[in-house]
Chain A
Amino acid sequence: MENIKMNKDVVAPAANQEGIWDNLKKKMPKDMGIFLVMIGIALVFEVLGWVFRGQTFLMNPGRLVLIVLQVAIIGIIAVGVTQVIITTGIDLSSGSLVALTAVVAASLAQTADSISPMYPALVDLPAIVPILAGIGVGLLCGVINGYLITKTGIPPFIATLGMMVSARGLAQYYTQGNPISFLSDGFTAIGSGSMPVVIFLVVAVIFHIALKHTRYGKYVYAIGGNMTSARVSGINVDKYLVIVYSIAGALSGLAGIVMAARVSSGQSSMGMAYELDAIAAAVIGGTSLMGGVGRITGCVIGAIILGLMKSGFTFIGVDTYMQDIIKGGIIVGAVVIDMRRNRAKR
């Protein structure tokens, strides 16, 4: 009762009472805060670069591409995971799907001069076959995730945890633990140079538009905002949830083939713990685990921040174990700040 009255009076005059800074803040894009954090981190490394290494960190175009390149694969996954998290779900299976799709795609991308090809009858296939196979396997696993969650009612955490374990096992069973190498040039082309960055950005743009300007996007936010209300508003919630998990699966598949192409090999140990980096990128980028809130632009910035940190720490010579310790702290810190910001709004 009281907050009703409280708000009634707050809302109207609030617009006038706000300072210039608040007005400015309103006009800025929603991701400006995290964008400034990204710039800040980059500048810190620039300074540290001069202090420790006596050279520039940022003014090296090669390194800038490298920063994004390092996170392009994580970023592709994170675009799917962001959508899942917006619906209040979670996807733990993406890292394992990277491995599974990478080995499946690699097994269909081998050349005739492979020493022991998996399918001697199926060598030198056009690149489109392994690409579609990889994405297809990812999509199929995503569909299974979606149906498990909507038809049995088990929590997304459990459904995708099961998929995570099974998909990894399947990848190992499929390869018997051996790497699959000698991949065709046509296939490895999608992982060479800065192609992964291009693919990441194209995927990001497509889903940014889908979330902002299509019915699919509106319904995804509504489902995450309040699943019951969405259902009563006539939205086929189950259908859209299956679509969201399918997209996440397909994007993991895309990440898997890019990865296999990049290293010219499919291995069942690929993509270990990538799901966690993808979730971290989404969350650092402002996606709320409570659902209903999140943007692809934020997720891209989140992924770049992860890349910046990795590249920056390596550049100034922090050892890799130390890097993980700091990364953990930064992920938790980002969410703490995000929760405070949300609480201040209420």
Chain B
Amino acid sequence: MYPYVLEAEGISKGFPGVKALDNVTLKIRPGSVHALMGENGAGKSTLMKCLIGIYTPDTGTIKVKGKEMSFCDTMDALHSGISMIHQELNLVPYMTVAENIWLGREPMKGLFVDHDILYRKTDQLLRQLNIKVKPDEMVGELSIGTQQMIEIAKAVSYDADVVIMDEPTSALTEGEVFHLFRIINDLKEQGKSIVYISHKMDEIFEITDEISIFRDGTYVGSDKTEHFDRQTLITRMVGRELTQMFPKFNDNIGEEVLRIDNLSRVGKFHDVSFSLKRGEILGVAGLVGAGRSEVMESLFGVHPADSGSIVLEGQQVTIGSPAQAIDLGLAFLTEDRKKSGLFLVLSVLENMSIVKMPKYIDNRGFVKHSDMAKDCLEQIRKLNIKTPTMDQIINNLSGGNQQKVLIARWLLAQPKILILDEPTRGIDVGAKAEIYKLISELANRGVAIIMVSSELPEILGMSDRVMVMHEGHITGILDKADATQEKILELASE
């Protein structure tokens, strides 16, 4: 017998200019649930990609059941008994549940797929996992949570010894999370191991047996879960006390600037009503798919609402396009930087100046490049954006600096209301702290801020009030004093 089913030792992985992993160790016991903890950018994902053959580590050894392995691709890893549930869903929406689960390894009858066996095997698997879905349902028609359960079924279907789960519960309701935990316990009893990556502390303490901690690409340490408490775990993850992340608060909240009444968009959200005051930070919490981003998109005119009213500084307004929203003094930092924020092939200057562009046109119709450059340099300095020049192509900047450029883009428009959708997603701790500071300063200067976030510490640390959404409805608005992690989670999954 072997003491560890999976042993990775001395793993280093460099990318041009940086070490993403530096001499990292991970040892997984058979029949255990092992948590991987660390901030964004700590190297968890890179390590997992090394373990499943997406990356080849520069140094170090990977042993599966005591045997040294080197994986060329994910197929190799699957054959050695390691499967992974990725953070993003990788299902094909136009195919059935059965076809998705067995994609690439369909049972064949001669040249043709043997549909009888395919559906029988799927039925068996779903029954075993107690997932109540028919094998011939189209995946695209299932809820996000159910799709996630199909992903889980798929990972289990490989009959792997180690199943890696990267944030498996981010899209699940409380009931589904409970269901997942039952599946995990079943797998454990069969002697399988789970590597569990999550930012949700409650889950970590509830389901895992051991915790390994990573910080900035290095291995901090491992121990049994029962030897940790919440505070020591956070401190070891971050390397300092978390309280200093969030700057002091604005006690200077002014009059109401925005009032939303019964805003609805069919199929997305219903009867959303809330208000916002000058200098206030309104946190918006909820699970993925709760309709938070959709509300913000309607407020900003990207996809106008079907009904309801928007009152801005006492005036009833209709917002039919982003251009109108900008004219009314709104700004919207979108959730997905790459998809709806950045112009990846353009420069920092061009990315930053695009919203304010109409103001840079002189009366002959030409762009005033000098004014543009002056504004840009000022923002680079104020926001501490690290770029060699303002003509640098923005794709070459780090995520944190890209995000700062996008924030600068909206600051140049001098908005009255700033909507931030996941403002710190995928950026490192240092840049995060700077962005928090910036948000506080803006609030202090009287800008009203709506901050949608899936990171509870951020919501709790920054918000004056917290609005919680669930399946397109507001389930509660909590004052800062009443807002706790437990209460928000309860409202988010009720």
Q: Which residues of A contact B (CB under 8 A)?
A: 1-15, 213-215, 217-219, 221-222, 225-226, 228-236, 288, 290-293, 345-346
Looking across the interface, which residue of chain B has its beta carbon closest to that of A226? Answer: B343
Q: Given A2-B45, A232-B332, does the pair A7, B322 have CB atoms closer than 8 Å?
A: no
CB distance from A10 to the nearest CB of B (A): 4
Residues in A whose Cβ lies below 8 Å from that of B400: 4, 8
CB distance from B337 to the nearest CB of A (A): 9
Roughly how many angstroms separate A10 CA and B396 CA in the complex, as a whole number? 8
Out of A11, A215, A222, A234, name the residue touching B343 (CB < 8 Å): A222
CB distance from A251 to the nearest CB of B (A): 20
B302 within 8 A of A: yes
Roughly how many angstroms separate A172 CA and B459 CA in the complex, as a whole number? 67
Roughly how many angstroms separate A2 CA and B15 CA in the complex, as a whole number? 8
Roughly how many angstroms separate A67 CA and B321 CA in the complex, as a whole number? 49
Task: Give residues of chain B (355-413) contacting chain A, Cβ–Cβ below 8 Å.
Answer: 355, 357-358, 360-361, 365-367, 369, 386-388, 392-393, 395-401, 409
B118 within 8 A of A: no
Residues in B whose Cβ lies below 8 Å from that of A291: 345
Q: Which 4 pairs across A and B sit closest by C-beta, in order of nearness?
A: A225-B343, A10-B17, A8-B398, A4-B399
Q: Given A6-B20, A222-B346, does the pair A232, B15 have CB atoms closer than 8 Å?
A: no
Secondary structure of the A contact surface, majority rule: helix
Q: Given A1-B45, A8-B401, does the pair A226, B342 have CB atoms closer than 8 Å?
A: yes
Residues in B whose Cβ lies below 8 Å from that of A230: 343, 354
Residues in B whose Cβ lies below 8 Å from that of A2: 13, 15, 20, 43, 45-46
Residues in A whose Cβ lies below 8 Å from that of B365: 214-215
Q: How many residues of B contact A (CB 8 A)?
A: 58
B16 within 8 A of A: yes
Q: Is A232 a contact of B334 with CB atoms below 8 Å?
A: yes
Q: Is A14 a contact of B40 with CB atoms below 8 Å?
A: no
Q: Is A1 a contact of B426 with CB atoms below 8 Å?
A: yes
Q: Is A233 a contact of B18 with CB atoms below 8 Å?
A: no
Residues in A whose Cβ lies below 8 Å from that of B401: 8
Looking across the interface, which residue of chain A has its beta carbon closest to that of B325? Answer: A234
Q: Given A4-B399, A8-B401, does the pair A219, B357 have CB atoms closer than 8 Å?
A: yes
- Would you give the 0/1 interface string for B275-288, flagging 1 where the beta carbon is closer than 8 Å to chain A? 00000000000000
Q: Is A233 a contact of B346 with CB atoms below 8 Å?
A: no
Residues in B whose Cβ lies below 8 Å from that of A7: 17, 396-398
Task: Give residues of chain B (193-220) contacting chain A, Cβ–Cβ below 8 Å.
Answer: 217
Among A2, A10, A11, chain B packs the most CB atoms within 10 A around the CB of: A2
Q: Given A213-B366, A214-B367, A236-B321, does the pair A292, B332 have CB atoms closer than 8 Å?
A: no
A-B contacts, 30 of them at CB < 8 A, read A1-B426, A2-B15, A4-B426, A5-B15, A5-B41, A5-B217, A6-B15, A6-B17, A6-B20, A8-B398, A8-B401, A9-B18, A10-B16, A11-B386, A11-B392, A11-B397, A214-B366, A214-B367, A218-B350, A219-B357, A226-B343, A229-B334, A232-B332, A232-B341, A234-B326, A234-B355, A235-B354, A288-B345, A292-B345, A345-B393
Residues in A whose Cβ lies below 8 Å from that of B398: 4-5, 7-8, 11
Q: Is B354 a contact of A10 with CB atoms below 8 Å?
A: no
Out of A12, A215, A292, A345, name the residue touching B388 (CB < 8 Å): A12
Q: Is B366 a contact of A233 with CB atoms below 8 Å?
A: no
Q: Which residues of B contact A (CB under 8 A)?
A: 13, 15-18, 20, 40-41, 43, 45-46, 217, 300, 302, 321-323, 325-327, 332, 334, 339-346, 350, 353-355, 357-358, 360-361, 365-367, 369, 386-388, 392-393, 395-401, 409, 426-428
Q: Given A5-B428, A345-B393, does the pair A236, B358 have CB atoms closer than 8 Å?
A: no
Q: Given A6-B17, A236-B323, A345-B393, does the pair A1, B40 have CB atoms closer than 8 Å?
A: yes
A-B pairs under 8 A by CB, number: 141
Q: Is A293 a contact of B345 with CB atoms below 8 Å?
A: yes
Roughly how many angstroms separate A4 CA and B342 CA in the complex, as a whole number? 14
Q: Is A235 a contact of B428 with CB atoms below 8 Å?
A: no
Looking across the interface, which residue of chain A has its beta carbon closest to that of B339? Answer: A228
Residues in A whose Cβ lies below 8 Å from that of B355: 233-234
Roughly how many angstroms separate A228 CA and B350 CA in the complex, as a whole number? 16
CB distance from B377 to the nearest CB of A (A): 17
Q: Is B322 a contact of A233 with CB atoms below 8 Å?
A: yes
Roughly how many angstroms separate A131 CA and B334 CA in the complex, as a whole number? 48
Q: Is A215 a contact of B40 with CB atoms below 8 Å?
A: no
Looking across the interface, which residue of chain B has its beta carbon closest to that of A288? Answer: B345
Out of A4, A6, A225, A232, name the residue touching B346 (CB < 8 Å): A225
Q: Given A233-B322, A235-B323, A235-B354, does the pair A6, B16 have CB atoms closer than 8 Å?
A: yes
CB distance from A176 to the nearest CB of B (A): 45
Q: Given A1-B45, A1-B426, does the pair A232, B340 have CB atoms closer than 8 Å?
A: yes
Looking across the interface, which residue of chain A has its beta carbon closest to that of B343? Answer: A225
Q: Is B396 a contact of A218 with CB atoms below 8 Å?
A: no
Q: Is B17 a contact of A229 with CB atoms below 8 Å?
A: no
Residues in A whose Cβ lies below 8 Å from that of B396: 7, 10-11
Residues in A whose Cβ lies below 8 Å from that of B322: 231-234
CB distance from B432 to the nearest CB of A (A): 12
Residues in A whose Cβ lies below 8 Å from that of B302: 231-232
CB distance from B177 to the nearest CB of A (A): 24
Roughly how many angstroms separate A221 CA and B20 CA in the complex, as a whole number? 34
CB distance from A283 to the nearest CB of B (A): 16
Residues in B whose Cβ lies below 8 Å from that of A290: 345
Q: Is B332 a contact of A346 with CB atoms below 8 Å?
A: no
Roughly how many angstroms separate A292 CA and B346 CA in the complex, as a whole number? 7
Q: Is A292 a contact of B343 with CB atoms below 8 Å?
A: yes
Roughly how many angstroms separate A236 CA and B365 CA in the complex, as a whole number? 18
Looking across the interface, which residue of chain B has its beta carbon closest to that of A219? Answer: B357
Roughly how many angstroms separate A290 CA and B346 CA in the complex, as a whole number? 13
Residues in B whose Cβ lies below 8 Å from that of A4: 41, 398-400, 426-428
Given A1-B45, A8-B400, A232-B302, 12 more contacts at CB 8 Å? A2-B45, A215-B360, A218-B350, A226-B340, A228-B339, A229-B334, A230-B343, A232-B334, A233-B355, A234-B322, A236-B321, A288-B345
Out of A10, A15, A219, A292, name the residue touching B18 (CB < 8 Å): A10
Roughly how many angstroms separate A316 CA and B89 CA in the complex, as a whole number? 59
Roughly how many angstroms separate A170 CA and B129 CA in the complex, as a whole number? 64
Roughly how many angstroms separate A230 CA and B341 CA in the complex, as a whole number? 8
Residues in B whose Cβ lies below 8 Å from that of A221: 343, 346, 350
Out of A6, A217, A222, A346, name the residue touching B354 (CB < 8 Å): A222
Q: Is B18 a contact of A8 with CB atoms below 8 Å?
A: yes
